[in-house]
């Protein structure tokens, strides 16, 4: 655990919480968000234990703002993404957060379970630019985008930067 201090417990409005233990996957997601013109600040946590610590503190603090978007890996060390989703289910503070789960699954019953536990979207690893663009376009209210007129053209902007 990297140690989250009390000042870190308050998440800024529109912040993206990225919980992923694999550096390659996390860096890829952050790079795609940047290329899409997403301006939300990203906070990365490395494991499920760190995520639970932060999320528990947020749930217990009535003045805290939850993240706008939570990217959650499924197979995290210490506490899995499944366990985190299940825990968040009955926490009103996270009901308005966009929960995007990503993993390397092709088992339909597992993917259905992710949605049952409250995920808004499931992306298979490695995440493709097209999939991420679809999520951004499907849930536009969660993202701070560089140029709001370009919101529906997010995929074109991504491809132009390659």
The string of pLDDT tens digits covering residues 48-81 is: 999 999 999 999 998 889 999 999 999 999 999 9
Mean pLDDT across 1-6: 44
For residue 53, give the 3-state DSSP assignment: helix
Torsion of CA 2, 7, 13, 17, to 10 degrees: 10
Query: Is position 98 within any domain?
Result: yes
| Contact criterion met (CB below 8 Å) for 70 and 95 | no
Query: Is position 1 within any domain?
Result: no
Query: Is position 65 within any domain?
Result: yes
Read off the CATH number of the domain in which 36 is found.
Answer: 3.40.50.2300
Mean pLDDT across 128-139: 94
What residues contact 81, with CB distance under 8 A and at least 6 apart? 19, 48, 72, 73, 74, 75, 101, 103, 114
Instruction: Write down the pLDDT at residue 157.
Output: 52
d(CA 63, CA 76): 28
Instruction: Write down the pLDDT at residue 149.
Output: 40
> What's the number of domains the chain is made of?
1
For residue 63, give the 3-state DSSP assignment: coil
Average pLDDT value for the chain: 86
Instruction: Write down the pLDDT at residue 104.
Output: 83
Query: Is position 69 within any domain?
Result: yes
As given in the structure block, the two tokens for residue 3 are 């140690």
Per-residue pLDDT for 11 more than 50? Answer: no
Closest CA to 160 of 31, 35, 39: 35
Structural domain range at position 51: 6-161
Output DSSP code: residue 22: -
Q: Which of 1-10, 72-81, 82-91, 122-131 has the lowest mean pLDDT?
A: 1-10
């Amino acid at each position: 655990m990297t140690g989250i201090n009390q000042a870190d417990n308050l998440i800024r409005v529109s912040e993206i919480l990225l919980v992923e233990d694999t550096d390659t996957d996390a860096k890829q997601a952050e790079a795609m968000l940047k290329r899409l013109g997403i301006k939300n600040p990203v906070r990365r946590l490395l494991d499920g234990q760190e995520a639970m610590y932060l999320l528990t503190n947020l749930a217990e603090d009535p003045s805290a703002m939850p993240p706008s978007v939570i990217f959650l890996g499924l197979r995290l060390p210490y506490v899995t993404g499944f366990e985190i989703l299940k825990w968040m289910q009955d926490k009103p503070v996270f009901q308005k957060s966009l929960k995007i789960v990503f993993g390397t699954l092709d088992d339909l019953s597992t993917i259905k379970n992710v949605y049952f536990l409250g995920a808004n979207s499931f992306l298979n690893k490695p995440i493709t630019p097209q999939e991420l663009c679809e999520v951004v376009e499907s849930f536009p209210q969660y993202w701070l985008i560089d140029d709001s007129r370009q919101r529906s053209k997010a995929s074109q902007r991504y491809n132009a930067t390659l």
